[in-house]
Structure 1
Amino acid sequence: MKHIIFALCVVAGVAFGTPIRAQEEPIRAVISAQIEAFEADDLDAAFTYASPTIQRMFGTAQNFETMVKNGYPMVWRPGDLKFLALEERGGLLWQDVLVRDLQGALHILEYQMQQDDAGWKINGVTIRRATAGTA
């Protein structure tokens, strides 16, 4: 009986885990591309990776730039970054990214992702300071 339950759990894990895992690469590519655009000071390109909701909220790439520079300086000019888990939380996909800022402090950025006809977009980012042992 234990073997049957274990087998069912493995099958369920594979069946439900695969769709999320299949999204890791495209989601990570979007986040990486936006960060590369920030580093290149290509504000228009960076703004295209934001969801329509975020684009409406800020209106222009210049307003978006101001928000990112003031609220997310570790993304504007990251020292280093590492992708962590992609998880479903509350019916939404969240990509966690460990970022070391230029001063050496570690932060975990939780990217809320949204998919539309054009692909994946960033629909918000929550910052939390990384704890010791995270890296």
Structure 2
Amino acid sequence: MRIAAVLVAISLVFSSTAALADDVATAQGVIRAQEQALVRGDAAAAYSHAAPAIKQIFPAPDIFMSMVQNGYAPIYRHKSFDFGESKSEGSWISQRVHIIDANGEAWEALYTLEQQADGSYKITGCSLLKAGQSV
């Protein structure tokens, strides 16, 4: 009986770890989809990955795209965009991204995403720092 209980406990740990890995992979897919939309200049597609609170601040895809172009140039135009460490807490995921911009300079982005009522993840924010700088 104890062996069965231990096996059930182990399977629960592995299934929750697998679910967390699936959520992180899903969140990374959302970030990658937005990044690719930005590269293509597809404002509507990039905007579709923004959380409702972001859409309240930037109420149209062209306004959102202008903000990204002006405030997040290393994300908008880059040479590399690679995922780093991720963390998950409840319905939130934070994801670090290592970026080399169009000029060859290194940046660190921290994306935050929240799971929506429909189960999808949407980007709630992005902080961008030149690599080596601290907050």
> Which residue number in structure 2 is paired with residue 84 of structure 1?
84
> Which residue number in structure 1 is paired with residue 122 of structure 2?
121
CA distance in structure 2 between the aligned counterparts of 1:19 and 1:64, rounded to whole angstroms: 32
* Unmatched 5+ stretches in structure 1: 1-9
CA distance in structure 1 between the aligned counterparts of 2:107 and 2:50, rounded to whole angstroms: 20
**TM-score when scaled to structure 2?**
0.80
The code of the aligned residue for 2:61 comes to A
The code of the aligned residue for 1:120 comes to Y
Contact 2:74 2:99 in 1 (8 A): yes
Contact 1:110 1:126 in 2 (8 A): yes
Question: Paired residues, what number?
Answer: 123
For residue 127 of structure 1, give the secondary structure of its aligned residue in structure 2. strand
Show the 5 A alignment for 1:41-56. 41-56=41-56
Contact 2:69 2:76 in 1 (8 A): yes
Show the 5 A alignment for 1:93-132. 93-116=93-116, 117=118, 119-131=120-132
CA distance in structure 1 between the aligned counterparts of 2:90 and 2:20, rounded to whole angstroms: 14
**TM-score when scaled to structure 1?**
0.80
The code of the aligned residue for 2:106 comes to L
